[in-house]
C-alpha cells in the first residue's frame, strides 16, 4: 500500500533550523552593509588576461584622486592581484564586532584574498578532499558574500568588483545584490577577445545588468583588431576608453571622466 | 529539509545536534505526537556543504561573526591576516585553564581570535568563570562549531 506522504510545503509547522530564513538574513546583511554604496560596478570580461584588475586598480586610483569615495572588492579569489596593483600595505585587517576594516591604498578601500593568504600559497579550504568539487564553489560564493557583507565599506560613491574571467562570479554577485550590478567590460583588441567578451556581455544583459561601456585595453600595440568598437556598436554602449600599453595617468583620468557615475547621495 | 513521522503524519521537530566524529554531523528530530526520535547523519562532504552555505541546522545560536566562513574554512591563510579588536565586554572576561589555552593555541592564528571570542562569549553568557577543555567541548557541540 503506497504511503500517503505530504509535500515539503504542506508541512507548515515552525522549523527551528529556519535554513531559508538564515539565507535571507545573509542577504539582508549584504544589503544593509551596502546601503551606503552609491553604485556597485562589476569589472568583467569573458576572457582572461585582458587586464581587468589593472583597469580596476587604475580607475579606482583616478576616482580617488578626483575626490570620489571608492572601494575595490577583488572577487578573483584564486588569482587575486588588486592588492599588489593598488600597492596595499601588508598589514593585518582589523576585526571588530561589526565587521572588518578594509585596507586603504591610494585613497581606495580594498579587500582581497591576497591580503589574507600566505605568500605563494593557493587558496585552499579545510575539508574532505574527496568530492571537493561539490562544495568548493559554494565556499567561494560564501567568501564573496562575506567580502560584500562583512567589510565596513561605509559610504562609497562606487564599489568596483574585480571579477575573474568567465561568468560564474558575476552570477554569484548578481544573486547576492538586491539588483544586478552595473557592468564595465574590458577587452583587448583581438577578434578572439571580442568573441569571448560578447558572450559575457550578452549574459550580463540577459541578467538585467546595466552595461556602462567597453574599455579596450592594450590598444594600438601588438594586438590586431578593433574589439572595443565592434562590441560597443553591437551592444549600443559607449567605447569609454582605448588604453595603450604603458598608459599615461591622463588615460585613467579620461576613463574616470567618461564613466557615467554619480556621487553618493546625489 | 523537513522530517515527517509517517505513522502519525506529523512534522518532526529538531531536538539536538551532535558531532560524533569522522566529519559526521548528526541532527536529531522528534515526533511531537509519538515521541519517536530519528537522527539524520551527514557524510563529511555533506557536512562540508552545509558549512559552506554558512547555515546551521537547528538554527543559529550565535550571531554571525565577521568573515566567519573565510576565517573558519580557508586553510592557507596567513597567521597575521587579522587583528581582532577587544570586545566591549560589560562583565569580566573568563579565565582560561592551562589545558584550554594549549588547545586554543593549536587553532591556526587565522581563525584563533574569532574562536577565542566565541568561547569567551559562551562562558560569559552562562556565568562560567573558567574555560576548560570540557567547557570547550560542550560549547562546540551546543553551538555547532564544526571544524573549530
Nearest to B45 among A95, A135, A142 (CB): A135
Name the pairing type of β-strands B130-131 and B95-96: parallel
Q: What is the DSSP string of A59-116?
A: HHHHHHHTT--EEEEE--SSS--HHHHTT----PEEEETTEEPPEEETTEEEE-GGGT
Say whether pLDDT at A105 is over 60: yes
Q: Which domains does chain B have, with CATH numbers?
A: 1-59 (2.20.25), 60-148 (1.10.8.550)
CB contact under 8 A, B78 and A118: yes
> pLDDT confidence of B143, banded at 50, 70, 90?
confident
State the Cα–Cα distance between residues A118 and B106, nearest whole angstrom: 18
Chain segment A144-179, per-residue pLDDT in tens = 999 999 999 999 999 999 999 999 999 999 999 999
Nearest to A125 among B4, B58, B75 (CB): B75
Report residue A144 as a C-alpha cell.
564573496
User: Could you report the predicted ipTM of this complex, rounded to two decimals?
Assistant: 0.89
With beta carbons under 8 A apart, name residues in chain B contacting A97: 66, 85, 87-88
Choice between A137 and A222, residue whose per-residue pLDDT is larger: A137
Q: What is the DSSP string of A168-189?
A: HHHHHHHHHSSSPPEEEEEE-S
Say whether pLDDT at B107 is over 60: yes
Average pLDDT over residues A175-198: 96
State the Cα–Cα distance between residues B7 and B31, nearest whole angstrom: 10
CB contact under 8 A, B54 and A26: yes
User: Do A213 and A199 touch, CB atoms closer than 8 A?
Assistant: no
pTM: 0.90
Chain segment B25-59, per-residue pLDDT in tens = 899 999 999 999 999 999 999 989 988 898 888 88
CA A176 to chain centre: 11
The secondary structure element, H or E, covering residue A118 is none
> pLDDT confidence of A60, banded at 50, 70, 90?
very high
Average pLDDT over residues A22-31: 94
Average pLDDT over residues A194-221: 96
CB contact under 8 A, B74 and A26: no
The length of chain A, given as a count of residues: 266
Question: Measured between CB atoms, does B64 come within 8 Å of chain A?
Answer: yes
CB contact under 8 A, A98 and B66: yes
With beta carbons under 8 A apart, name residues in chain A contacting B53: 23, 138, 142
Nearest to A16 among B13, B64, B75 (CB): B13
CB contact under 8 A, A139 and B14: no
Q: Which domains does chain A have, with CATH numbers?
A: 37-258 (3.40.50.300)
Amino acid at each position: 500500500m503506497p504511503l500517503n506522504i505530504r509535500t515539503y510545503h504542506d508541512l507548515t509547522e515552525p522549523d527551528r533550523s529556519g535554513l531559508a530564513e538564515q539565507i535571507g538574513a545573509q542577504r539582508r546583511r549584504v544589503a544593509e552593509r551596502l546601503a551606503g554604496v552609491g553604485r556597485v560596478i562589476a569589472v568583467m570580461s569573458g576572457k582572461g588576461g585582458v587586464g581587468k584588475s589593472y583597469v580596476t586598480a587604475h580607475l579606482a586610483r583616478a576616482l580617488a584622486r578626483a575626490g570620489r569615495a571608492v572601494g575595490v572588492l577583488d572577487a578573483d579569489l584564486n588569482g587575486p592581484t588588486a592588492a599588489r596593483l593598488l600597492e596595499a600595505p601588508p598589514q593585518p585587517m582589523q576585526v571588530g564586532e561589526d565587521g572588518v576594516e578594509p585596507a586603504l591604498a591610494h585613497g581606495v578601500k580594498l579587500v582581497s584574498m591576497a591580503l589574507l593568504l600566505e605568500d605563494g600559497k593557493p587558496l585552499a579550504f579545510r575539508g574532505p578532499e574527496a568530492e571537493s568539487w561539490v562544495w568548493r564553489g559554494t565556499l567561494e560564493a560564501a567568501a564573496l558574500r562575506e567580502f560584500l557583507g562583512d567589510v565596513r565599506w561605509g559610504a562609497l560613491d562606487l564599489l568596483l568588483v574585480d571579477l575573474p574571467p568567465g561568468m560564474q562570479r558575476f552570477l554569484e554577485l548578481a544573486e547576492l545584490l538586491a539588483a544586478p550590478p552595473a557592468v564595465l567590460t574590458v577587452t583587448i583588441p583581438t577578434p578572439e577577445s571580442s568573441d569571448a567578451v560578447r558572450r559575457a556581455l550578452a549574459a550580463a544583459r540577459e541578467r538585467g545588468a546595466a552595461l556602462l561601456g567597453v574599455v579596450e585595453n592594450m590598444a594600438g600595440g601588438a594586438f590586431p583588431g578593433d574589439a572595443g568598437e565592434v562590441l560597443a556598436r553591437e551592444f549600443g554602449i559607449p567605447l569609454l576608453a582605448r588604453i595603450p600599453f604603458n598608459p599615461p595617468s591622463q588615460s585613467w583620468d579620461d576613463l574616470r571622466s567618461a564613466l557615467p557615475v554619480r556621487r553618493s547621495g546625489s | 529539509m523537513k522530517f515527517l513521522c509517517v505513522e502519525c503524519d506529523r512534522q518532526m521537530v529538531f531536538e539536538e545536534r551532535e558531532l560524533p566524529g569522522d566529519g559526521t554531523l548528526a541532527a536529531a528530530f522528534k515526533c511531537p505526537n509519538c515521541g519517536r526520535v530519528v537522527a539524520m547523519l551527514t557524510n563529511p562532504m555533506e557536512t562540508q556543504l552545509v558549512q559552506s552555505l554558512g547555515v546551521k541546522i537547528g538554527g543559529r545560536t550565535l550571531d554571525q561573526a565577521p568573515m566567519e566562513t573565510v576565517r573558519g574554512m580557508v586553510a592557507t591563510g596567513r597567521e597575521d591576516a587579522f587583528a581582532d579588536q577587544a570586545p566591549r565586554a560589560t562583565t569580566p572576561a573568563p579565565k582560561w585553564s592551562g589545558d584550554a589555552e594549549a588547545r586554543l593555541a593549536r587553532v591556526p592564528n587565522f581563525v584563533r581570535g574569532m574562536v577565542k571570542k566565541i568561547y569567551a562569549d559562551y562562558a560569559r553568557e552562562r556565568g562560567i568563570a573558567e574555560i576548560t577543555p570540557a567547557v570547550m567541548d560542550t560549547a562546540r557541540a551546543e553551538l555547532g562549531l564544526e571544524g573549530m
